[in-house]
Structure 1
Amino acid sequence: MHVSDLLRIKGSSVVTVRPDDDVRALLALLAEHHIGAVVVSADGAAIDGIVSERDVARALNRQGAAVLSHEVSSIMTAEVRSCAPDTHLDELSQVMTEGRFRHVPVVMDGRMVGIVSIGDVVKSRMTELEVERDSLSSYIRTAST
């Protein structure tokens, strides 16, 4: 399965936050959309960075509650790994595991076209395994009769 297949199933909407929004606004977005990370983008299409709940937790630990009024750009990760729609999910899973990150924006022709989380990848793999199991069970039942 490829990233494009996954996006067809889950959708391609991406929640973004502006780099100059404050961390309090970021937290409101995370809560509103029940997500763990957002892409930081000044225009909603180009990727300026990514920021997650972990980034907020680390910043709170270092700087205290004052960080809530700081700009998102002060806590975001600026070097963002992205993938293409034709990336195989096995490859993406390996990249995410090795890089120890859980969200990857999907980019085509320099524009963001979706985002994939490690949860999306795991859910997809579990579905594949269930289909394989059901097929094998059916084959075994048919072969034994």
Structure 2
Amino acid sequence: MKIQDVIRNKGTEVVTIPPTSLVETLVALLHERNIGAVVVSTDGRHIEGIISERDVIHALATDGVGVLAKPVSELMTARVYTVSPDDGIEETAHAMTYQRIRHVPVVVSGEMHAIVSIGDVVKWRIDQLTDERNHLLGYLHA
């Protein structure tokens, strides 16, 4: 199975924020949308970085509340791990687990197409296992 299977169920919406936005704006956006990470992008198509609630917590612990007045670009991760819709779900799950990445943008022809979280991958796998179990139960009871 491929990442495109996860996207088919989840959708392609990606929440972005410009790199010049303040961290306090980011925090409000994370809260408002009930999400854990935002792709940093000036134009909404090209990835400049990614920033998560974990990045904000680490910065708060290190620098204090003054971090809320800093631009997102100062906290974001600039080297972003990405996948394509044709990449395998299992390989992506392994990479996310071992690299400790919870959100992975999906890129097509150099432009952002979607974003997949570790929760999306786990949900997809649970749904797949449930379907397999139901098919086996149906076979046994037939």
| C-alpha separation in 1, matches of 2:139 and 2:133 | 10
Aligned residues: 142
Which residue in the other structure is 1:11 paired with?
Answer: 11
Q: Which residue of 2 aligns with 1:24?
A: 24
Q: 5 Å matches for 1:36-55?
A: 36-55=36-55
> What is the Cα-based RMSD across aligned positions, in Å?
0.6
Compute the displacement of 1:100 (Å): 0.4
- Alignment partner of 2:64: what SS? helix
Q: TM-score, normalized by length of structure 1?
A: 0.96
Q: 1:8 Cα shift?
A: 1.5
The reply on whether 1:114 has 2:104 as its aligned counterpart is no
Distance in 1 (CA, whole Å) between partners of 2:32 and 2:56 is 16
Q: Tell me what 1:71 maps to.
A: 71
Q: What residue is the counterpart of 1:136 in the other structure?
A: 136
Q: Counterparts of 2:32 and 2:7 in 1: how far apart (Å)?
A: 21
> Deviation of residue 137 (structure 1)?
0.8
Secondary structure of the structure 2 residue equivalent to 1:121: helix
Q: Partner residue of 2:127?
A: 127
Q: State the 1:23 CA deviation.
A: 0.1
Matching residue's letter, 1:77: T
Larger Rg: 1
Structure 2 CA distance for aligned equivalents of residues 109 and 118 of structure 1: 23
Quick one: distance in 2 between partners of 1:57 and 1:83? 26
Runs of 4+ in 1 over 4 A off after TM superposition: none
Provide the rounded CA distance (Å) in 1 between the counterparts of 2:18 and 2:27: 13
Between the aligned partners of 2:29 and 2:129, the Cα distance in structure 1 is 33
The Cα of 1:88 is off from its aligned counterpart by 1.2
Distance in 2 between residues matched to 1:13 and 1:5, nearest whole Å: 15
Give the 5 Å matches for 1:79-90. Answer: 79-90=79-90
Q: TM-score, normalised by structure 2?
A: 0.98
Structure 1, unmatched stretches of 5+, are: none
